[in-house]
Amino acid sequence: MSPDPSLKRALIIDDDDHIRELLQTLLETAGFEVETLRDGIDAVELKKDYHVILLDMKMPIFDAGRLTDYWRMTDPAILRRVILLSGYTRLASDRDFGTFANIAKPFDYHELLSTVDECVRQSPP
């Protein structure tokens, strides 16, 4: 059975279980099919395309900096679908990761959903 092409697909990469579950619930409520991963190392080779990827800045093994650097070398188009989430505002703003957007934690869920919708509209997989 092939996936429904009308479904929007999202990937959440965050090592915090609570944040991952909150984001998953938020996006599923907004009509997304959601998959989650605990660390960037698990997202090095994506097995499918996603309309949007929510990526936590700080993770214990393979953080957003390493993952975005890897994608920049191997498949830079992915970065147009990435929204970087960071509780470390200074770290996120010191460097251009080439992502669609950066959102500071704690985030306003209306702002997050608005940014997600904007990302989906500008760059279908």
Position 104 scores a pLDDT of: 87
40 neighbors 64 (Cβ within 8 angstroms): yes
pLDDT of amino acid 2: 47
Instruction: For residues 12 and 34, give the distance between their C-alpha atoms in angstroms, rounded to a whole number.
Output: 7
The confidence score (pLDDT) of residue 89 equals 53
- pLDDT beneath 50, residues of the chain: 1-2, 92
Q: What pLDDT does residue 125 have?
A: 57
Q: How high is the pLDDT of residue 96?
A: 78
Instruction: Give the integer Cα–Cα distance in Å for 91 and 68.
Output: 14
User: Residue ranges per domain, the chain?
Assistant: 8-122
Tokens, residue 39 = 């660390």
Q: What is the pLDDT of residue 7?
A: 83
pTM summary value: 0.90
The CATH class of the 8-122 domain is: alpha beta
